[in-house]
Amino acid sequence: MCGICGKLSFKSQIIPRELIHAMNEKLMHRGPDEDGFYFDNNFGMGMRRLKIIDLSTGSQPLYNETKDIAVILNGEIYNYLELRKDLEEKAHTFKTSSDTETIVHAYEQYGLDFATHLNGMFAFALWDSKQKRLLLVRDRMGIKPLYYRADAHGISFASEIKSLLVDPECTREIDYSALDDYFSLMYVPGPRSIYKAIKKLEPGHMLICDGSKKTITQQRYWTINFQAVPDYGWDFYKEKLDSLLQDAVKIQMRSDVPFGLFLSSGLDSGSLCYYASKVSSKKLKTFTVFFNEKSYSEQAGAKAIGERCGTEHHEILLKPAIEETILKINNFFDEPFADPSAIPTYTLCEYTRKNITVALGGEGGDELFAGYPTFLATEWARYYRMAPKSLRKIFSRCVNALPVSWENVSLDRKIKTFIRGAENPYERSHFAWYETFKPEEKEKIYSPSMKNNLNGHDSYESFQTYFNEIKNGTNLEKLLYVQQRTLLLDEFLVKSDRMSMAHSLEVRVPILDHRIVEFATTLPARYKIRGTTLKWTLRKLMEGRLPASILTGKKMGFYPPVPSWISGSLRPFIENVLSKKNLEKTGLVEYEGVRQLLEEHNHKVRDNHRRLWTLLNFVLWQKKWG
């Protein structure tokens, strides 16, 4: 795993070496082992390397035989051995054993179609000195990040925003629409970033930057296509998925450094544990974080999976005194980010890095195979809306009168969340179930300045864009696609990348192997959801392989006991951060509305933990980065 950065000027000016060095320095945590640089007049790029493959000769940049093509890579090319063999048969000569070198030879061989030959998680920059052409490429699912700032004078790019901000041509003007999206979703959905000048390169895309013509074009090289195909029967799909998962885990366990796996009580990590323990020649190391609060803890389930698979299992207790961790985490998110599971993820990565350098993670199963209760809620909401409006109003009042519980996934929270979005058409209701601050709630906390800057912006557009991209799909296919392009991409994968890179730990996600993603698009809906059984495919596949309690267990999510923390151990810290003085400094949030949220939560009138956590992380972000 690495960090990359660089700049191409269309003004024919020499790129200062000290600028690229300064940008690269901001990425030290992503690659502590070594750095590398390349300069060609009006182009320069740098990288920080975490050594995983080819420890002795894999230093970057890497080149083709004539050294007129150079590449720097953040990520891994998993099929590099197979690709290398194919390219050598086509007369290409390799000088290292690195996976990165396959990129330049694939580009020589296949031209702009070369990215389709790569299986991996990657964000890379390739410079063709003959054509004066820069290619910026991001993997199909957006596992690895790539940000850029472009205008008529050129382009700069980096793995993280903090590196781009070193470039004096990169302005820091806030994108208020992006900030409004953050208050809706707890993260900033792409392709926006929190800064107007900076964008996120979308998954499955490349930027073609022509230094001679002074043009920048974007090209999509891969897309998710749900396909209407005949139902071949469960045995066919079982055999296919079993083979794909086994091979994805096998090729992603290629490494020259110690290896392990993150383990929860869930199906996704449990399935990976089963396959990894079969593939590994050594006893597999597994790691889990648990909480003292039983309804949040996945300790027992993770332990049961570890025992069934015969792993060397490690358990880490997360204690509620985590103010210092919250502040540390803020150093690694360059834009507002409020997913509370970043805290246990940070702690898990910190402990894990002391034992291994590469870990497998279970991201992607819910978004490919329908693991979220909202998929069921969408269908239930259709019937709910058939009831008379007067009856729905009575039911809503009764539900809102239920006592507040701090338990994880409590019944009152599930019902209240359902009612919160069920009145909307199914596309809008799906957004509403993830919405932290509704428009009427924003009215109470936004300052006049913030309201004036929004110009009627509706955060739903971040979901609507992807609903529109898959107009002809079934309802379930649309929901899965939207989840893949929003929640998975800009929340879960961002969290995994930043928290692992904070400790120079590489995390790989085999379920998001593009072959498995493509397989999932051909899987009929009846194999994804059966009645009220979510993720039926994986449950059926893992019968007899994982403990029965795991196959029938309810989804918990990797979520800490934030509601009780806010009104308990973290109360002084949060009230200090969300003080009138600090909120007035932002110029964007009104104290009185926030004070009301705190009082409601602390007196258990209403569970406001998501809203308060969103506000907390916004204030902390603005203090450091704004």
Q: Is the pLDDT of residue 562 over 90?
A: yes
Quick one: pLDDT at residue 284? 95
pLDDT average, residue stretch 69-85: 97
Q: Mean pLDDT highest for which of 290-299, 379-388, 392-401, 404-413?
A: 379-388
For position 582, what pLDDT does the model report? Answer: 96
| 58-62, 140-144, 489-493: least confidently modelled range | 58-62
Amino acid at 467: F
Alpha-carbon span 177 to 485, nearest angstrom: 18
Q: Which residues pair with 70 in a beta bridge?
A: 63, 127
- Helix (H) and strand (E) counts in the chain: 28, 17
pLDDT of amino acid 393: 87
DSSP letters spanning 577-589? HT-HHHHHHHSSB
Residue 460: pLDDT band by 50, 70, 90 thresholds?
A: very high
Query: pLDDT tens for residues 604-613?
Result: 999 999 999 9
342 pLDDT exceeds 90?
yes
Residues with a known catalytic role? 2
* pLDDT given for residue 1 in this prediction: 62
Q: Is 550 exposed, middle or buried (0-12, 13-18, 19+ CB in 10 A)?
A: buried
Average pLDDT over residues 556-577: 90
User: At the top level of CATH, which class does the domain 234-369+477-552 belong to?
Assistant: alpha beta
Say if residue 54 is exposed, middle or buried (CB neighbours under 10 Å; 0-12, 13-18, 19+): middle
Q: Can you give the pLDDT at residue 242?
A: 98
Confidence of residue 406 (pLDDT cuts 50, 70, 90): confident
Residue 553 pLDDT class (50, 70, 90 cuts): confident
Structural domain boundaries of the chain? 2-220, 234-369+477-552, 561-626
Task: Specify the range with the lowest mean pLDDT, choosing from 320-324, 467-471, 483-487, 569-573.
Answer: 320-324
Between the alpha carbon of residue 9 and those of residues 133, 153, 156, 168, 214, the distances in Å are 12, 6, 8, 13, 9
Radius of gyration of the chain (CA): 24
The pLDDT, as a whole number, for residue 556 is: 67
The mean of the pLDDT values for the chain is 94
Does position 99 have pLDDT exceeding 80, yes or no?
A: yes
Give the residue with greater pLDDT, 240 vs 392.
240
Q: How confident is the model at residue 313 (pLDDT cuts 50, 70, 90)?
A: very high
Q: What is the largest CA-CA distance in the chain?
A: 76
Residue 386 is predicted with a pLDDT of 87
> Is residue 601 within 8 Å of 616, Cβ to Cβ?
no
**Residues whose CB falls within 8 Å of the CB of residue 436, separated by 6 or more in sequence, listed in order:** 183, 184, 185, 186, 338, 610, 611, 614
Give me the mean pLDDT over the 95-112 stretch.
Answer: 96
Q: In which region does residue 233 sit, left (phi positive, over 0), alpha (psi from -120 to 50) or beta (all else)?
A: left
Q: CATH number of the domain at 2-220, out of 3.10.20.30, 3.60.20.10, 3.40.50.1820, 3.90.870.10? A: 3.60.20.10
Burial class (CB in 10 A: 0-12, 13-18, 19+), 446: buried
Mean pLDDT computed over 300-318: 94
Q: Give the model confidence (pLDDT) of 212-221 as tens digits.
A: 999 999 999 9
Q: 191: cis peptide before it, omega within 30°?
A: yes
In this predicted structure, what is the pLDDT of residue 398? 86
Comparing 529 with 414, which gets the higher pLDDT?
529
Rounded mean pLDDT, 15-44: 96
Report the pLDDT value the prediction gives residue 578, as an integer from 0 to 100. 98
pLDDT of residue 413: 79
Per-residue pLDDT at 405 exceeds 90: no
Local confidence band at 51 (pLDDT 50, 70, 90 cut-offs): confident
Average the pLDDT over 392-405 and give the result. 83
Question: How far apart (Å, rounded) are the C-alpha atoms in residues 61 and 80?
Answer: 17
The answer to whether the beta carbons of residues 504 and 32 sit under 8 Å apart is yes
The share of the chain scoring above pLDDT 90, in percent, equals 81
**pLDDT single digits (tens) 143-197:** 999 999 999 999 999 999 999 999 999 999 999 999 999 999 999 999 999 999 9
